[in-house]
Amino acid sequence: MKRPLEPFRIKVVEPVKLISRSEREKLIKAAGFNIFKLPAEKIFIDLLTDSGTSAMSDYQWAGLMQGDESYAGCRNFFHLQETVRDITGFDYILPTHQGRAAENILFSTLLSSGDVVPSNIHFDTTRANIEYLGARAEDCVIEEGLNPEVRHPFKGNLDLQKLKRVYQRYGKNKIPLVCLTITNNSGGGQPVSMENIRQVAQFCHRHRLLFLLDAARFAENAYFIKLREKGYQRTKIKKIVREMFSYADGCWVSAKKDALVNIGAFIAV
Residue by residue, DSSP assigns 41-93 as GG-SS--S--TT-SPPPHHHHHHHHT----SSS-HHHHHHHHHHHHHH--S-E
Q: pLDDT by residue (tens digit) across 72-88?
A: 888 888 988 999 999 99
Task: Yes or no: say if 141 and 159 are a contact pair by the CB < 8 Å rule.
Answer: yes
The answer to which of 5-19, 223-237, 255-269 has the lowest mean pLDDT is 5-19
Cα–Cα distance, 266 to 269 (Å, whole number): 10
- In the chain, the domains with their CATH numbers are 16-48 (no CATH), 75-268 (3.40.640.10)
Q: pLDDT by residue (tens digit) across 113-141?
A: 999 999 999 988 899 999 999 999 999 99
SS3 217: coil
Q: How far from chain centre, in Å, is Cα 151?
A: 23
71 — pLDDT class (breaks 50, 70, 90): confident
SS3 157: coil
